[in-house]
Amino acid sequence: MLNVLKALLRTTYVKTRSALLWPILLLRRTKKLPKAEVRSILFLRYDRIGDMVLSTAALKALRRAYPQAKITILASQRNHEILKHNPHVDEILIYKGILWFLREIRPKGYDLVIDPFVTHELKQAFMTYLAGGEYRIGFENAGREIFFNLRGPVASNTKRMVEHLLELVELLGGNRKDCEAEVFLSDKELQWASKALSNKGIGEHTLIVAIHPGAYYLSQRWSTERFGELARRIFEQYEAKVILFGSRDGKDLVKKVKEVAGKKVQDFSGLRLREFMALLSRCHLLICNNSGPLHIASALKVSTVSMIGPTVTPLWLPSGRHDVVINKRLSCSPCNRVVCKGHECMESITVDEVFEAVQSQITRIRSQRKRRVAAQKSV
């Protein structure tokens, strides 16, 4: 009941705000962006890991459109390492609060400030104005555009997040061709991953299935008992290594999965983000909830099977060619609740149907590996 009330109040607030700002928006004047004059760009992305991963597609398109400009990303402590080694970014700054922002960012006088947040909230839009940028753009929603002087797109729940972000950059003169989410790993990081796997007895040609049971919100998590049962079935049917990932805060989740899965599972929880990314790049399949690791896997071209419940499904679908998403599409979904007592959207996803998806993925992966080996032998 409380969640329903909150949703109603939010809807009422957004509609009221739109009505109040509408007369002012009629007088809004927008500018035409002179691309050649843009020498410095600020891109606001100080939120979560998955959002940053998905934004890398837009950053590539932005670099292509403005090769002469210095591109600065305002990131968070949580997500900034996603951009390490990214050739499309010149500078990364860590957001430290609004007073810091006014003191450190506004004096820099960026030519173009971009707000990529798909939200009804005003804060990020207002920050483009506070940054003192000559040109400002973001998604137009419920009057947010009052702080922008360039025409921005209107978001839709029927499109993936990557599509939204590329559309935003296209309005700035960018070209989306061949632009997709990507992360970059160094040779040193990849060598570390190979050694870490070798130390656990996992060889270079071993089929590796990874499981990450965590998610930012409780309502987005499939049960740890079912993850554990799934791991046991994979052991029983395939000659594969199953490894568990989890954040330092999520070690309890991994422990519960291990209690059901048994001793054969390999525990790699508590890694630093870059270490996790390097190890994940060596995996053939990731099974997880809707979360940052899901989008990292897609960016690394690692196949996935994921479970999505209360989230706006089209918006947060992974963008990989071989990603399988299990979603019940119940009448109450998407509710976007942080906590749900019934949790039917996730509880109704069975181990049998997830295992069926895993079987399909493993069959395809093995077939691809055989063709690759055959092609190498024929050379």
CATH number at residue 158: 3.40.50.2000
At position 114, the amino acid (one-letter code) is: I
Both 62 and 160 in one domain: the answer is: yes
Residue 120 counted as domain residue:
yes
Euclidean distance between CA atoms 156 and 170, whole angstroms: 16
Both 200 and 348 in one domain: the answer is: yes
Show the domain range for 251. 196-378
What is the enclosing helix (H) or strand (E) of 7? helix 2-26
Under 8 Å between Cβ of 161 and 315: yes
Both 162 and 201 in one domain: the answer is: no
Confidence (pLDDT) at 248: 83
Residue 176 counted as domain residue:
no
Q: What is the CA radius of gyration of the chain?
A: 22
Residue 94 counted as domain residue:
yes
Q: Which two tokens stand for residue 209?
A: 């299935």
Residue 182 counted as domain residue:
no
Confidence (pLDDT) at 374: 76
Confidence (pLDDT) at 216: 83
Counted domains in the chain: 2
Euclidean distance between CA atoms 64 and 70, whole angstroms: 12
Both 108 and 223 in one domain: the answer is: no
Confidence (pLDDT) at 171: 97
User: Which residues lie below 8 Å from residue 365, measured CB to CB, with a gap of 6+?
Assistant: 207, 284, 285, 303
Which of 120, 152, 170 is at the close of a domain? 170
Confidence (pLDDT) at 291: 92
Both 70 and 201 in one domain: the answer is: no
Residue 269 counted as domain residue:
yes
Both 227 and 365 in one domain: the answer is: yes
Residue 87 counted as domain residue:
yes
Euclidean distance between CA atoms 336 and 27, whole angstroms: 35
Residue 4 counted as domain residue:
no
User: Which residues lie below 8 Å from residue 82, measured CB to CB, with a gap of 6+?
Assistant: 49, 52, 53, 56, 183, 273, 296
Under 8 Å between Cβ of 208 and 282: yes
Both 47 and 120 in one domain: the answer is: yes
Euclidean distance between CA atoms 48 and 51, whole angstroms: 6
Both 165 and 200 in one domain: the answer is: no
Both 203 and 163 in one domain: the answer is: no
Which of 154, 170, 186 is at the close of a domain? 170
Both 355 and 236 in one domain: the answer is: yes
Both 223 and 146 in one domain: the answer is: no
Confidence (pLDDT) at 196: 97
Which of 352, 344, 303, 343 has its CA nearest to residue 325?
303
Confidence (pLDDT) at 50: 95
Both 164 and 232 in one domain: the answer is: no
Q: How many other C-beta atoms lie within 10 A of the C-beta of residue 274?
A: 17
Confidence (pLDDT) at 358: 97
- For 101-156, how does the pLDDT look when each residue is reduced to its tens digit (9 = 90+)? 999 999 999 999 999 999 999 999 999 999 999 999 999 998 999 999 999 999 88
Residue 258 counted as domain residue:
yes
Confidence (pLDDT) at 313: 72
Per-run averaged pLDDT (10 residues), the chain, 379 residues? 67 87 86 95 97 98 98 98 98 97 96 96 96 96 94 91 97 96 98 96 93 88 95 93 91 92 93 98 96 96 91 81 84 59 77 97 91 75
